[in-house]
């Protein structure tokens, strides 16, 4: 059993690498990346300054080659895509604190010290300017000839940091580390997810049992239609419907029209805050969880139906047990197994649906963040979101198996 889970954990590594490679290459090989956007902005800026007169000139002529190279280095476009992928993972060193040396004979400032280049071209190394016998080993010298023929010498330090060390890079849009951004937004999304998860499990067990016991009754038929709607219609569309009906404007004004909290949230007292949060949470929570809830209910009902015709249930009745005990103890214990094992998938489904729901309800969660990141080509956020989704999917599947083994002692994975 332990062996099985260790093997499963190890198998996630190639899958994870495969997934990240695919996303990384799709994004990196696509035209119109951050460099192009930056260039466009620069050209527009230059054009505007000159009154828009000469903006149509050749791009290369307007932006000096050294600036281009700096930009390329900033976006690591001077390296091959596989190298960039390895840097991003954290397996290759990432250049940090780069300094471009304008004159190879003059000292330059690196960190808190003054440094100087020593040695012949092609074989430089950095020494402390005030004490030339002290070699600064942690600085690497990189020399290259640019397209316009000028020579460019750059010194930088190396650092192994990437997603494996928890460094997701900086967001080009928000100018702050992606890790922190994602954690902030994740907190918002997770609140809905957790409430929804608990609610769907409690309600679906009860509803599933009632539907199974009253199979074929009007209650079953009516609730079936509702469950079918929840099953067939995507959560965000149902959320949109509820928003039109209950979110004010045309029909009833029961709930606020989206967003996470009111604008005057800070001025409210504690109960007011609680009420405000709750009012904002109702519709999004339904939208987040309806799909998982519907399939869980159907699964629960069928599972109960399947179990209730088994011999052990007949035996329990024959022993003279009360119906309540037979259903809620004997049958439930066996019927809960397929439901419990879906927990990982439900969590994964929640995160993959989040960008639509958060777009509809204007919630600043992780889904909306990543959606906007695609629009603004903020690749570090896109990558981070992919990594998180993939990890949740992978571990969700393992957790599902684990829960399955937990609730069903007969199951022994090998």
Partner 1 sequence: MATDQRSTTATPSQPPNGNEAAVAPPKKSLTINQRRWRKFKGLKRGYYSFLILVTAYILSLFLPLLVNNKAIIVHYNGETYFPAAKSFFVNIPAIGSIFGSDFYSGESFGQVGNSGEAVYRKLQLQYEREGGSNYLLMPLYKFGPIEDISVDGNDPLKAPFDSDSQGQFRLLGTDDRGRDVFARMVYGFTVSISFALIMVLIDYIIGVPIGGMLGYFGGWFDIIMQRIIEIWSTLPILFIVIIIASLIRPDFWMLILILSLVGWIGPTVLMRAEFYREKAKDYVAAAISIGVPTRKIILKHILPNSLVPIITFFPFTVVGGITALVSLDFLGFGLPPPTPSWGQMLGVGLSNITSSWWLVMVPLSAMFSTLLLTVFIGEGIREAFDPKVFSRLR
C-alpha–C-alpha distance, residues 131 and 116, integer Å? 10
Closer to partner 1 by Cβ: residue 110 or 204? 204
In whole angstroms, the minimum distance from the beta carbon of 352 to partner 1 comes to 5
C-alpha–C-alpha distance, residues 273 and 266, integer Å? 8
Binding partner 1 (rule: CB under 8 A), the pick from 10, 120, 271, 375 is 375
Binding partner 1 (rule: CB under 8 A), the pick from 327, 359, 380, 381 is 359
Residue 208 CA, distance from chain mean position: 32
Binding of residue 261 to partner 1 (CB under 8 A): no
Decide if 139 contacts 96 (C-beta within 8 A): no
In whole angstroms, the minimum distance from the beta carbon of 374 to partner 1 comes to 5
Binding of residue 244 to partner 1 (CB under 8 A): yes
Binding partner 1 (rule: CB under 8 A), the pick from 182, 243, 332, 346 is 243
**What residues from 292 to 331 belong to the interface with partner 1 (CB under 8 A)?**
295, 298-299, 302, 305, 309-310
C-alpha–C-alpha distance, residues 365 and 368, integer Å? 6
Binding partner 1 (rule: CB under 8 A), the pick from 171, 370, 380, 400 is 370
Binding partner 1 (rule: CB under 8 A), the pick from 79, 113, 215, 277 is 215
Binding of residue 77 to partner 1 (CB under 8 A): no
Closer to partner 1 by Cβ: residue 25 or 265? 25
Q: Other CB atoms closer than 10 Å to residue 185's CB: what's the count?
A: 22
Q: What DSSP string describes 127-179?
A: EESS-TTSB-TTEEEEEEE-TTS-EEEEEEEEE--SGGGT---B-TTT-SBHH
Closer to partner 1 by Cβ: residue 66 or 224? 224
Which DSSP symbol is given to 91? S
**What residues from 30 to 59 belong to the interface with partner 1 (CB under 8 A)?**
30-32
Structure-token pair, residue 113: 């010290």
C-alpha–C-alpha distance, residues 240 and 225, integer Å? 19
In whole angstroms, the minimum distance from the beta carbon of 359 to partner 1 comes to 7
Decide if 110 contacts 155 (C-beta within 8 A): yes
In whole angstroms, the minimum distance from the beta carbon of 50 to partner 1 comes to 31
Q: What DSSP string describes 313-345?
A: HHHHHHTT--HHHIIIIIIHHHHHHHHHTTHHH
In whole angstroms, the minimum distance from the beta carbon of 246 to partner 1 comes to 12
**What residues from 383 to 412 belong to the interface with partner 1 (CB under 8 A)?**
385-386, 389-390, 393-394
Contacts of 161 (CB under 8 A, 6+ apart): 90, 94, 167
Look-up: residue for tokens 């050294």?
Answer: 66
Q: What value does the CA radius of gyration of the chain take, rounded to a whole number of Å? A: 29
Binding partner 1 (rule: CB under 8 A), the pick from 177, 234, 282, 405 is 234
Structure-token pair, residue 185: 């937004």
Binding of residue 356 to partner 1 (CB under 8 A): yes
Binding partner 1 (rule: CB under 8 A), the pick from 66, 248, 262, 407 is 248
Binding of residue 345 to partner 1 (CB under 8 A): no
Q: What share of the chain is helix, strand, coil (3-state, %, to 5)?
A: 65, 10, 25
In whole angstroms, the minimum distance from the beta carbon of 225 to partner 1 comes to 8
In 3D, which of 379, 349, 322 has the Cα closest to residue 84? 379
Binding partner 1 (rule: CB under 8 A), the pick from 42, 62, 282, 374 is 374
In whole angstroms, the minimum distance from the beta carbon of 405 to partner 1 comes to 21
Binding of residue 360 to partner 1 (CB under 8 A): yes
Q: Which one of 80-88, 106-114, 198-206, 367-375 is the stretch in contact with partner 1 (CB under 8 A)?
A: 367-375
C-alpha–C-alpha distance, residues 245 and 267, integer Å? 29
Binding partner 1 (rule: CB under 8 A), the pick from 68, 336, 382, 404 is 382
**What residues from 89 to 148 belong to the interface with partner 1 (CB under 8 A)?**
none
Q: Binding-site residue total for partner 1 (CB under 8 A)?
A: 54
Decide if 291 contacts 193 (C-beta within 8 A): no
Exposure on the CB side of residue 354, measured as CA atoms within 13 A? 31
Exposure on the CB side of residue 267, measured as CA atoms within 13 A? 3
Binding site for partner 1 (CB under 8 A): 14-15, 18-19, 22-23, 26-27, 30-32, 215, 228-229, 231-234, 236-237, 240-241, 243-244, 247-251, 257, 295, 298-299, 302, 305, 309-310, 351-352, 355-356, 359-360, 370-371, 374-375, 382, 385-386, 389-390, 393-394
């Amino acid at each position: 059993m332990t062996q099985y889970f260790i093997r499963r954990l190890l198998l996630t590594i190639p899958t994870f690498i495969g997934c990240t490679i695919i996303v990384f290459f799709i994004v990196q090989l696509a035209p119109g990346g951050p460099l192009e956007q930056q260039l466009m902005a620069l050209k527009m800026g230059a054009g505007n300054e000159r009154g828009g007169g000469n903006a149509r000139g050749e791009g290369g002529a307007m932006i000096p080659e050294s600036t281009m190279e700096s930009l390329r280095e900033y976006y690591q476009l001077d390296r091959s895509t596989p190298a960039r992928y390895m840097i991003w993972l954290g397996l290759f060193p990432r250049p940090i604190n780069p300094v471009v040396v304008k004159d190879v004979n003059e000292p330059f400032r690196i960190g808190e010290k003054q440094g100087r280049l020593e040695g012949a071209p092609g074989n430089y190394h950095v020494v402390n300017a005030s004490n030339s016998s002290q070699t600064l080993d942690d600085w690497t010298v990189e020399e290259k000839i640019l397209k316009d023929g000028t020579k460019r010498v750059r010194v930088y330090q190396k650092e192994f940091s990437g997603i494996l060390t928890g460094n997701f890079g900086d967001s080009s849009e928000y100018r702050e580390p992606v890790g922190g951004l994602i954690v902030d937004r994740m907190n918002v999304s997770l609140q809905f997810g957790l409430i929804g998860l608990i609610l769907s499990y409690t309600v679906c067990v009860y509803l599933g049992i009632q539907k199974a016991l009253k199979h074929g009754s009007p209650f079953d038929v009516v609730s079936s239609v509702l469950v079918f709607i929840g099953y067939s219609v995507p959560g965000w569309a149902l959320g949109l419907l509820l928003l039109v009906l209950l979110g004010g404007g045309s029909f009833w004004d029961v709930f606020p029209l989206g967003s996470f909290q009111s604008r005057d949230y800070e001025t409210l007292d504690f109960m007011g805050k609680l009420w405000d949060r709750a009012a904002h949470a109702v519709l999004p929570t339904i939208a987040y969880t309806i799909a998982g809830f519907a399939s869980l209910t159907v699964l629960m009902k069928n599972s109960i139906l399947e179990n209730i015709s088994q011999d052990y249930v007949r035996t329990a009745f024959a022993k003279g047990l009360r119906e309540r005990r037979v259903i809620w103890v004997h049958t439930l214990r066996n019927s809960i197994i397929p439901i419990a094992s879906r927990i990982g998938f439900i969590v994964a489904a929640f995160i993959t649906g989040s960008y639509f729901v958060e777009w509809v309800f204007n919630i600043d969660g992780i889904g909306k963040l990543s959606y906007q990141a695609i629009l603004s080509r903020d690749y570090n956020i896109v990558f981070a979101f992919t990594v998180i989704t993939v990890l949740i999917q992978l571990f969700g599947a393992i957790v599902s198996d684990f829960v399955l083994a937990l609730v069903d002692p007969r199951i022994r994975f090998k």
